[in-house]
Amino acid sequence: MKAAAPAKTNAARLLDGLNLHYELRTYEVDPDDLTAISVAKKIGLPPEQVFKTLLTTTQSGDHIFAVVPGDAELDPKKLAHASGAKKIELASLKEVEPLTGYIRGGVTVMGAKKPFPAYADETIELFDIISVSAGQRGLQILLSPADYLAATKATLADLTRTAITR
């Protein structure tokens, strides 16, 4: 018996509307470990190919999406420089769902409630295929970096510092 196809998310519908090729890949969700590194292991990709989407806030109250590799940390100073903001910090978790329509572990630029500007780490272009959240926990979208950048209109920039391994 064939497994049921995952439900289409707003992100998948957006890609369909743009006639862009993608693959949906499901994985088992561990609510205690929503890290991109954990997701990467579950979907069989290296962590640097699984990009996490973070919502940030500027000093003036504007919001910006930062899309960074799963094995790296966002450097807020680099994002501020790239976006022309004075200062940037991660948005509080309580802001994320009302602003994006997505819960932690399921945030994506595509199909978000509000079209905030997006910046993607320049390493995104190093891969044939990348993975980002499809807009819900347990579901990733695999697609080419060019198609992702076309769909999100993200600006490329150096956004990361090496993550501290524990």
pLDDT digits (tens, 9 = 90+) for 80-133: 999 999 999 999 999 999 999 999 899 999 999 988 999 999 999 999 999 999
Taking residue 118's Cβ as centre, other Cβ atoms within 10 Å add up to: 21
Q: Where are the domains of the chain?
A: 10-159
Whether 158 shows a pLDDT value over 60: the answer reads yes
Whether 22 shows a pLDDT value over 80: the answer reads yes
Query: CB neighbours of 39 closer than 8 A, spacing ≥ 6?
Result: 27, 50, 70, 131, 140
What are 139-157's pLDDT values in tens digits?
Answer: 999 999 999 999 999 999 9
* C-alpha 78: how far from chain center: 17
CATH number of 10-159: 3.90.960.10
| pLDDT, greater one: 125 or 165 | 125
- 131-161 as b/e: b if 16+ CB within 10 A: bbbbbbbbbbbbbbbebbbebbebebbebbe
What are 42-86's pLDDT values in tens digits?
Answer: 999 999 999 999 999 999 999 999 999 999 999 999 999 999 999
